[in-house]
A and B are shown apart, each in its own frame.
Chain A
Amino acid sequence: MNRAPGVVILVLLTGLGVGATYFVQHISAPRIAAEQRLIDSRNLLDLLPPDSYDNQPLEQPLGLAGIVLPSSTLLGGYRVTKSGQPSAVLLRSQTLGYEGSIELLIAIGANGRLLGVKTLRQSETPGLGGRIADWPNAWLQVFAGKSRAEPGDAGWALKKDQGTFDQIAGATITSRAVIHAIHDALSYFDEHSQQLIGSSAHE
């Protein structure tokens, strides 16, 4: 029969193709995963000063998940250590902005002071609220060095809400959401500093 050898060759070719692809994928998967982790850490960890840590924070999750705070939810956290001593905590916080949910990465030092805030995901108005996604970000930089006590709990709000922070021009709701999410994260850190970094937050 004329068609049989053709079909056999086709089936053989398919089998060979699937096998070869599986084999290549199996061999290269660990390498690709390691490279992906490296890219992720470079993207996310540039909000920490480079000489303040020597571990892989993204591979040391704190096991927090779905913790509901007054205006945000904590999706996860990572511990940052230097020479075995915890030096900071990274908290992933999700809050509701103007157009959708905003996901922030909030870095808090061991002394309870903010090291930096970075936007991981947002769908705010481009050019207005969407400016929280710029990096480096002049508006988010204002929060660096602040803590829960400075300004106090009442100071963590927009100036038009009797607080101390300016909003991004034209993006009041987005700014308010971000400020409350940061305040929630700082409060959570203060209340749980024992379990997050194993010591009291205030030096």
Chain B
Amino acid sequence: MTDIGLIAIGAGIAVLTGAGAGLGMGIATGKAVEAIARQPEAGSKINALLILGMALTESTAIYGFVISLIMIFTMGK
């Protein structure tokens, strides 16, 4: 197998971090919806917290994406 093939496989594995992030974001959104349904007047506060939590959860997926990009664009040369 050539180097570029191995790099592509590695990049693909790195992007698998998106699965965990998706799971986490789904759980967070579900809980937020439950909380708002129970207490609609706290909606704006829960929304702000949800967006912050989403950003932190999403970052794992983003790290995988950045690492795969760096692998593709710097290792192949």
A binds B: no
Residues of A within 8 A of B (CB): none
Residues of B within 8 A of A (CB): none
